[in-house]
Amino acid sequence: MAKIWYSITFIAVFLILLGSSASSIQANEVLVEVDTLNVRSGPGLDYNQTGTVHQDDTFSVQETKEDWVKINWNDTTGWIAKQHVQFQEEHVTTCNVDHLRIRSEATTQSAIKGYLMEGDEVELLEQRDNWLHISYEGVNGWIHRDYTALATKPSDNRDTSNSSDTSVNAEQSIATLQYNATNLRAGPSTNHKVIGQRDAGERFDVIEKQNDWYHIQTENGTAYVAGWLVSIKGSSQSETTNQDGLKNKTVMIDPGHGGRDSGTIGINGTYEKTLNLDTALTLMKKLEQSGANVLLTRDDDQYLSLAARSSFANTSKPDAFISLHYNSAPHVQNASGISTFYNGNENEHLANMVHIAMIDATGMTDRGYSASNYHMIREPQVPSLLLELGFLSTSYEEQYVQTSAYQENVTDGIHDGLKAYFTD
């Protein structure tokens, strides 16, 4: 009888301790909000660094202690600074666009399993870099984070004056914008959403530099701005402006078709010639903001022969010639994606740089870049590309490529690819 009583007592105490331990573990997760964040062996800067985590990584939380969070990480645990993470207590998010593709894997090359419409609410299963594993109406798959509510959540207006675990320059620097309508973004790349625009001459305190981007303080919180769009002045450095990349380069943009030549006509009636010109004008503005000289083969709805366009290029001798088009494959179900064409081995590097940047910026299906013999890349005697930016013969893609979000993203990609090419 005594043995039974002792056994019951032991089990009861064990269950109490187990329950006590379980109650201290928090069920929520954290999302890393900075580019690189150190993981430490304990809750403080005096503890050893055991590794790093990166922006948009998510981890389950074991406990919090003052300004530090203990996370499950790499089959063990570690501590990260609380001020650089966002607690994810909800396990749902909302789609921000129509016809967002649900893919079988976290890549634009994987199979499409379905689509989401704006306002659809999905269950979050996990996150991998910029991809979300979700469940929606019985379908499990992957969607790109940039087109969900997670990409537009405002960051907390935190005091960043205290010591932190991200490489912040202790000296106060000022970023001065060099161009009107400069995009301010939610994170340090063109993959992040535009959260505002400011004009030349406006000045902001710099919090830190992350690669080619500056994290700046605004009156409403914080934002990121591309380093090639600002000049920087600090207490021990002279004012500098970006002197490489697109500055003083001449780029000729060729909006394909025009006038009596409509180009392809979308399944819902979109004229390719009109969309080509819209994309060209958006791209022109961004290139000019980065200091490039921009020429257009046409700036309105006029007909130009292919010979006239290539002659214009050979007379003007730009540093790059970019012919913009949208694709059509009416006999291929759900044809989708971006293709890049070049002529001659000397133009392959340009094709590679621009194509990769467009895919990164848009998340579109990657149809690759390849050599071809189109007139508009064969005849110009300058570095030339022909870009096919989406399929108007596929209904959902026809609608999507006309959205302001896509136009911003795809022109950001072309801009960044050209900048990388000229900087390389």
Sequence ranges of the domains in the chain: 25-88, 92-151, 173-241, 250-423
Pick from 191, 198, 184, 196: which is nearest to 226 by CA? Answer: 184
Q: Which of 128, 126, 127, 134 is nearest to 100 (CA)?
A: 134
Q: State whether residue 335 is helix, strand or coil.
A: coil
388 is catalytic: yes
* Record: fold of 173-241: SH3 type barrels. (2.30.30)
- What CA–CA distance (Å, rounded) separates 400 from 355? 19
**pLDDT value, residue 207:** 84
Domain 92-151 CATH class label: mainly beta
CA dist., res. 136 & res. 128, Å (int): 18
Low-confidence ranges of the chain (pLDDT < 50): 1-27, 152-171, 235-243
CATH 3.80.10.10 fits 250-423, yes or no: no
Cα–Cα dist 288/248, whole Å = 9
Contact assessment for residue 84 and residue 32, using Cβ atoms and an 8 Å cutoff: yes
In this structure, the strands spanning 92-94 and 121-128 are antiparallel
CATH architecture of 25-88: Roll (2.30)
pTM of the full predicted structure? 0.49
Q: Which two tokens stand for residue 144?
A: 């790109």
Per DSSP (E only), the strands in 257-296 are 293-296
Please give the single-letter amino acid code of residue 392. Answer: L
Q: For CA atoms 186, 187, 193, 198, give the dihedral sign.
A: positive
From residue 343, how far is each of 298, 354, 375, 418 by CA, in Å? Answer: 23, 15, 9, 17
Alpha carbons 182 and 176: distance in angstroms, whole number: 11
β-pairing verdict for 49-54 and 68-73: unpaired
Element (H, E) at 108: none
Coarse DSSP helix, strand, coil percentages of the chain, rounded to the nearest 5 percent: 25, 35, 35
* 367-393 b/e (C-beta count within 10 Å ≥ 16 → b): bebeeeeeebbebbebbbbbbbbbbbb
Rounded distance between C-alpha atoms, residue 115 and residue 382, angstroms: 41
Same fold, 92-151 and 173-241: yes
pLDDT at 8: 47
Catalytic entry in 388, 397, 398, 408: 388
Paired sense of beta strands 384-391 and 338-342, if any: antiparallel
What residue spans of 225-267 are helical by DSSP H? none
Containing H/E element for 87?
A: strand 85-88
